Chains A and B, each alone.
Chain A
Amino acid sequence: MAQTIEAAPPGRTGGDPGAARPPRAARRLRLPAPYLLIAPALVILTGVLLWPIVQMVWYSLHGYSTRHLMPNAPAPEFKGLEHYQTLLSDPAFWRILANTVVVCVLMVGITLVLGTLVGILLHKLPKWFSTTVAIGMMLAWATPAISASLVFRWLFMPGRGLVNVTLDRMPDWLVGSGWRDFNWFLEPVPLFSVLIMVIVWQAFPFVAVSVLAGLKSIPHELYEAAKVDGANGWRSFWSVTFPMLRPLFALLLVLQIIWDLRVFTQLFILANSFQNKSVYLLSYYIYQQGFSANPPNYGTGSAIAVVMTLMILAVTAYYLRIMIRQGETR
């Protein structure tokens, strides 16, 4: 597969459609073809995913709730930036925003560092052993988010969870006492710790396998040369591996940030309710405003969604720059 992808760009440029342009009459005849071909995808993507972004901005400027969905409902009231002002002057929102950023940074940082280390490890291990480890990692990667969250909820369950029982059995001078009935899911710090663990557990294999694929593409001579120059492992990583894989690392960073900013399912299972506002993340807050608050507050929910989308768009802009530089849009 790697070959197919690698072979694709030369094929694409070699078979440049512009070069083999048919004569004028034939071209006019074929002109609508590409548009007809992309039409179904374009219609469904625009209608289902793109237009709602515009609507989200509109809703965030209006007071909108379930009663506006009723037949003959009054037009939603224009509120200007009121939702944003309310949010920005609400300490609870700032705490949720800060929690989201901190949790996301930790998830992304740990995932990337662990994934890179494991990728390097796999590269150094003999083939049979690295294949075994890779298959094991595949299990973590493939587990559906809902199953993974439930297993971790069970592992950390007060009273009977394996982690609680094990910590309780360990000597008190090492880990302290009272672990058996410790509830991990009430306070932000323990809950987010378990959440980060679930996310990292599911995400590091992707990073590791990508880094491994990248390492295989680096010519061995570069490391030999670094060794001759007296570089140790740390040094040769920063002066050979990292510069060579810079585009890959940039891409992994962007993808991880985008995936981790939007974490919802895992938190939904671990927190198991909307009662404790101190453990909300942005995506959780949006959902709570839209579908759990009574009455639903679509306006405020959309305003939070706009904030989250802006954060993600900033990262996406960086992603697009990488993609355009690599010629992926050509």
Chain B
Amino acid sequence: MTASVSPPRRRRRRPPMALARRAGLYLAGVAVLLFSVFPVYWMVATAFRSQGEIFSAEQTLFPRTLTLEHFDRVVNGRLLPGVDFWQFLANSLTVTLGAVLAGALFSLLAAVAVARFRFRLRTAFIVLLMIIQMVPMEAIIISIFINFRKLQDATGITMLGNLTGILIVYTAVSLPITIMMLRGFVAAVPKELEEAAAIDGATNAVVFWRILMPLVAPGLVAASIFAFITAWNEFVVALTFLGRSTDSFTLPLTLSYYFGRTGTEWGPIMAASTLLTIPVMIFFLFVQRRMVSGLTMGAVKG
């Protein structure tokens, strides 16, 4: 496609105006790049800067000395009384991975139903997903909190103040988007492939594991990463459900509490923020394009 377009353009000589225009475009590109990267750079730069420099009234753009003292304080010290960093990391990983695994299973089942079967409530289910996807957590958080509190009193199972409650909510929250993402993948697997395998005598389980799974796997990875990022970053539910149970704090909540308590310890705060950000950045690179097409779905078409 590019080959058919560019040659006639390239043969033309560039007038000076076009050169100035090009320079303008590059400058704008550099400006966008700086605007995007700078806050992240500042976070990392502060995390590696010495305490003296952070407290100096003359901030310099580049750190004069690099130090690991803030990371050391975050990882080996205590951000909140009595609990160490590894506990918070373990909490975050537990809820995140738990929500991802449960979500992947439930959404795969639902996606197969939506993509492969035509049933009475199918459209209703899809519309329901789209509506739920839009419901703001901040609006229903009071109701959810009361429900979990009542459930806790009725059954004796602790739902608030530990990881159980937020695990359940995190699983629910990303389901609508992961189902919609997976549905496209399941639908793209040719039905003929499954039918051919069935004619060859493969059981339903074999068809599922040997035919459908390998083809849907990339979608499952993308959906899982999306669910991971959602749960890993989530704040308001953790804030509401965990209250003062510091033992169960997730990383975002820990950061917020640490900030609220100290207010000026920017070295450790930025070091912890950096640690929180790294896993998201890594996963994000894998799914970035899928996030776009997953969220805008069919809106981008030729």
Instruction: List the interface of chain A (C-beta within 8 A of B).
Output: 1-2, 4-9, 11-12, 15-18, 20, 30-31, 33-35, 37-38, 40-42, 44-45, 47-53, 55-56, 59, 64, 69, 71, 118, 121-122, 124-125, 129-130, 132-133, 136-148, 150-155, 157, 159-162, 165, 180, 201, 205-206, 209-210, 213-214, 217, 220, 247-248, 250-252, 255, 258, 261-262, 264-265, 268-269, 272, 283, 286-287, 290-291, 298, 301-302, 305-306, 308-309, 312-313, 315-316, 319-320, 322-323, 326-330
B297 contacts partner chain A, Cβ-Cβ < 8 Å = yes
Answer whether residue B89 sits at the interface, using C-beta atoms and an 8 A cutoff: no
B29–A41 touching, CB < 8 Å: no
- What chain A residues lie within 8 Å of B122 (beta carbons)? 34
Contact status B40-A143, CB under 8 Å: yes
Beta-carbon contact of B138 and A308 below 8 Å: yes
Smallest Cβ distance from A320 to chain B, in angstroms? Answer: 6
Contact of B284 among A124, A138, A306 (CB under 8 A): A138
Listed from nearest, the 7 A-B pairs whose CB atoms lie closest are A52-B143, A37-B113, A283-B138, A34-B117, A142-B284, A147-B273, A262-B136
Q: Does the CB pair B115–A144 fall under 8 Å?
A: no
> Given A38-B125, A144-B232, A316-B134, list of 10 further CB < 8 A pairs?
A4-B293, A8-B187, A11-B190, A121-B32, A141-B288, A146-B276, A268-B236, A286-B141, A305-B142, A322-B299
Chain A residues with Cβ under 8 A from B25's Cβ? 121, 124-125
Q: Is B142 within 8 A of A302, CB to CB?
A: yes
**A136–B284 alpha-carbon span in the complex (Å):** 12
The listed residue (B28, B139, B280) touching A309 by CB distance below 8 A is B139
Which one of B66-74, B79-87, B171-179 is at the interface? B171-179
> Are A138 and B288 CB-contacts (below 8 A) given A41-B107, A248-B299?
yes
B237: shortest Cβ distance to chain A, in Å?
10
Residue of chain B at shortest CB distance from A255: B295
Q: Which residues of B contact A5 (CB under 8 A)?
A: 184, 293-294, 297-298
> Could you write out 17 A-B pairs with CB less than 8 Å apart?
A4-B188, A34-B117, A44-B175, A71-B153, A138-B281, A140-B39, A140-B40, A142-B281, A150-B255, A153-B259, A213-B293, A287-B240, A290-B240, A308-B139, A313-B134, A315-B134, A329-B127
Q: Whole-angstrom distance between the alpha carbons of A48 and B135 in the complex?
A: 12
Q: How far is the CA of A210 from the CA of B39 in the complex (A)?
A: 23
Q: B211 in the interface, Cβ–Cβ < 8 Å?
A: no
Q: Which residues of B come within 8 Å of A, CB atoms?
A: 5, 25-26, 28-29, 32-33, 35-37, 39-40, 42-43, 46, 54-59, 105-107, 109-110, 112-119, 121-123, 125-132, 134-147, 149-150, 153, 168-169, 171-173, 175-176, 179, 184-185, 187-188, 190-191, 219, 222, 229, 232-233, 235-236, 239-240, 252, 255-256, 259-260, 263, 266, 269-270, 273-274, 276-277, 280-281, 284-285, 288-302
Q: Is the CB of A320 within 8 A of B130?
A: yes
Contact B130 A286, beta carbon cutoff 8 Å:
no
Instruction: Please give, as numbers and ranges, the residues of chain B lying within 8 Å of A9 by CB-CB distance.
Output: 298
Q: List chain A residues, Cβ under 8 A from B43.
A: 143, 147, 150-151
Nearest Cβ distance between residue B266 and chain A, in whole angstroms? 5
Is A143 in contact with B293, judged by CB distance below 8 angstroms? no
Knowing A2-B289, A209-B288, A213-B293 touch, does A139 contact B281 (C-beta < 8 A)? yes
| Complex alpha-carbon distance, A165 and B130, angstroms | 46
Would B106 and A44 count as touching, CB distance under 8 A?
A: yes
In the complex, the answer to whether A56 meets B256 with C-beta atoms within 8 Å is no
Whether B39 lies near A143 (C-beta < 8 A) is yes
- On chain B, the residues within 8 Å of A7 by CB distance are 188
| Closest chain A CB from B143 CB (angstroms) | 3
Candidates B123, B142, B280; contact of A144 at CB < 8 Å: B280
Q: A121-B25, A129-B29, A251-B296 are in contact. Are A140 and B175 (CB under 8 A)?
A: no
* Residue of B115, B144, B270 touching A151 (CB-CB under 8 A): B270
* B168 and A44 contact, CB distance less than 8 A: yes
Q: Which residues does chain B contribute within 8 Å of A298, judged by CB atoms?
A: 142, 146
Report which residue of B144, B153, B290, B292 has the largest number of chain A beta carbons within 10 angstroms of its beta carbon. B292
Q: Quick check: A48 and B168 within 8 Å, CB to CB?
A: yes
Q: Decide: A50 and B128 in contact? CB cutoff 8 A.
A: yes
> Closest residue of chain B to A300, judged by CB?
B142
Contact of A145 among B187, B233, B296 (CB under 8 A): B233
Give Cα A16 to B115, complex, Å.
9
Question: Are A262 and B137 neighbours in the complex by a CB distance under 8 Å?
Answer: yes
Question: B41 → chain A, closest Cβ, in Å?
Answer: 9
Chain B residues near A121: list those with CB within 8 A.
25, 28-29, 32
Closest chain B CB from A314 CB (angstroms): 11
Complex CA distance for A309 and B255, rounded to whole angstroms: 29
- List A contacts of B147 (CB < 8 A): 51-52, 55
